[in-house]
Amino acid sequence: MLSWPDVIDLRTVGIMIIMTCVISSMVSIVIWRLNRPMAGLISWMLAAFGGTLSFLAWVSMPWLGREIAIPLNMTISTGSLMLILDGVLRFRGLIPAGRLRWMTPTAMLIEAVQVIVNLNQDWLRITLNDMLNSMILVAMIAALLHRARRDERTIHLMIAAGTAVMVCSYLFRIDAALAAPRGTFRAPGDPAHAYVFFISLLFILSWTFGMLLMVNLKVHRALADLADRDPLTGIGNRRLLDRLATRSLAHDRAGLVLIDLDGFKHINDSFGHDQGDRALTWIADTLRGLLRPGETPIRLGGDEFALFIDGTGDSSDLDGRVAELDADINGRISIGAGFPLPARVSIGAAAAPADGSTLDALIMAADRRMYADKHGFRPGTEARP
C-alpha cells in the first residue's frame, strides 16, 4: 500500500505551498491597499510573505544545507504564525494598535535558539517546534471565537476548524517523534512530515479565504453603520430609527422622546453655521452621556433630536424619564459651554401601545406634547388622549 511520501515528495508539496503563499501574499496586498486603516491587515500580509520565505528555505536545502535551511524554515514559520495571531488580535480589537509588537520577534528568537541547539536531534527539535506552534494556533482559535458576533460566527468557526486540523497534524508529528526509537526519527525522511506539509497547504488556503470573508464582513458592517449614522454628530439617523422601531414595535413595547432646540435659528443667523454645528454636536454628546441601557440617540434632521427607548411601554416611567432629561439638558444649557447654545430644549414623549403601535403614531403624539412644552407646559402634565 502506497503512503503519501510514495505518491508525492516533500519538495513538491513545498513548491505547492510556496505558490499558494505567493497567491495569498498578492491577495493580502490588494486587501491592505483597499482597507489601509483596518487593524491587523499588515500583520497578515507579512505572515503571507513569511510563509513564502519559509518554504523557499525548505526547498533550497540541497543548496543552503540543513544547518541554514532548517533554522530559517522553522524560525520564519513560527514568526508567520505569530503574525497571523497578532493580526487576529488587532483585527478583532483585543489589543490596541501599536501594543505588544514584541510578541512575534520574541517567539522567533525562542524558536531560532531551540532549533540551532537541537539541530542534530530531530525528534527534540520537531517536538519543541510543534508544541510552540500548537500553542500559537490554540491562542489563535481562542481569539477568533472570543465573543464572536452572530454574523461573524460562521466565518470564524470555519477558520478555527482549519486551524484545529493544523494543530492535530502537529500533535500527530509530536507523537511520531516521541514514539520512534531515539535517533531513528529523521527530518525530512519520516512520513509524518508529509502529513504536516499537506495540512499546511490546506491551512494557508483556509486562512486566505477566511481573511477575505472577515474583511468583507467588516467593510459591509462599517458601511451599514455609516448609513445609520448622522455624519455631523455621529449618533443615529432616521434610517436607524425606522429599523429600531420596526423591531421593537412588533412587541408593542417602545418609547419615543422628541427633543427640539429652541432658539437654534438665532445661533445660525447671528454666529454662523459653524457655531450651529457645534451646538448640535454638543446636544448629541450630552444625550450620549445621559443614555441608559436600551436607549438610542437619534438626530432626525435640522435641530430635531429623538431618543428611542426599547422595551418600555409604561407611560408613567416615560414621563419620569422626560422630566429627568428636561432637568439634565436644560440645566447644562443654563450653565453654558463656552460657545452659543440654544435657549432651551422642548421635550415630548409617546409610548407604545398607549399612544399607537406605529412609528408615525408615536411621532405625532410626541410632537404634540413637545409643542405643548414649547408653549409653556412641562412634559407629562398634558392629559393623554
Q: DSSP per residue over 52-100, as a string?
A: HHHHHHHHTHHHH-HHHHHHHHHHHHHHHHHHHHHHHHHHTTSS-TT--
Enumerate residues 6+ apart whose C-beta is below 8 A from 90. 39, 40, 43, 97
As a whole number, mean pLDDT of residues 350-377 equals 88
Report residue 240's pLDDT band, with 50, 70 and 90 as the boundaries: very high
Measured from the Cβ of residue 7, the count of other Cβ atoms closer than 10 Å reads 9
Confidence check: pLDDT of 21 > 50: yes
Residues β-bridged to residue 145: none
Per-residue model confidence (pLDDT) at position 7 = 47
Is pLDDT above 90 for 102?
Answer: no
Cα 207 from chain centre: 17
Whole-number Å distance between alpha carbons of 80 and 358: 55
User: Which of 74, 163, 82 minimizes the C-alpha distance to 112?
Assistant: 74
Domains delineated in the chain:
4-227 (1.20.1070.10), 238-374 (3.30.70.270)
Instruction: Give me the pLDDT at residue 188, please.
Output: 65
For residue 258, the one-letter residue type is L
pLDDT tier at 314, thresholds 50, 70, 90 = low
Higher pLDDT, 258 or 315: 258
Q: Which of 116-125, 160-169, 199-208, 354-363 has the lowest mean pLDDT?
A: 116-125
pLDDT of residue 104: 85
Q: What average pLDDT is seen over the chain?
A: 86
The closest alpha carbon to 198, from 16, 2, 343, belongs to: 16
Asked whether residue 378 carries a pLDDT value surpassing 90, the answer given is: no
Q: Over 80: is that where the pLDDT of 382 sits?
A: no
Band of the pLDDT at 1, cuts 50, 70, 90? very low
- Buried residues in 56-84 as b, exposed as e (16+ CB within 10 A): bbbbbbeebeeeebbbbbbbbbbbbbbbb
- 374 pLDDT tier (thresholds 50, 70, 90): confident
Query: DSSP secondary-structure letter at 310?
Result: E
pLDDT for residue 337: 83
The pLDDT tens digits for 199-236 are 888 899 999 999 999 999 999 988 888 889 999 999 99
Which amino acid, residue 262? D
State how far the Cα of 221 lies from the Cα of 35, in Å rounded to an integer: 14
Grid cell, residue 39, equals: 487593524
**Higher-scoring residue by pLDDT: 376, 160:** 160
Mean pLDDT along residues 280-284: 95
Predicted confidence (pLDDT) at residue 124 exceeds the cutoff of 70: yes
What percent of the chain is helix, strand and coil (3-state, nearest 5)? 65, 10, 25
How are strands ordered across the β-sheet holding 295-301? 295-301, 304-310, 254-262, 344-352
Residue-level pLDDT at 288: 93
Share of the chain above pLDDT 70, in %: 92
Q: Summarize pLDDT for 48-81 with one digit per residue, the tens.
A: 999 889 888 888 888 888 888 888 888 999 999 9
The pLDDT confidence band at residue 290, using thresholds 50, 70 and 90, is very high
| pLDDT digit string, tens, across residues 139-167 | 999 999 999 988 889 999 999 999 999 99
Taking 90 as the threshold, does the pLDDT of residue 356 lie above it? Answer: no
Judged against a pLDDT cut of 80, whether residue 4 lies above it is answered with no
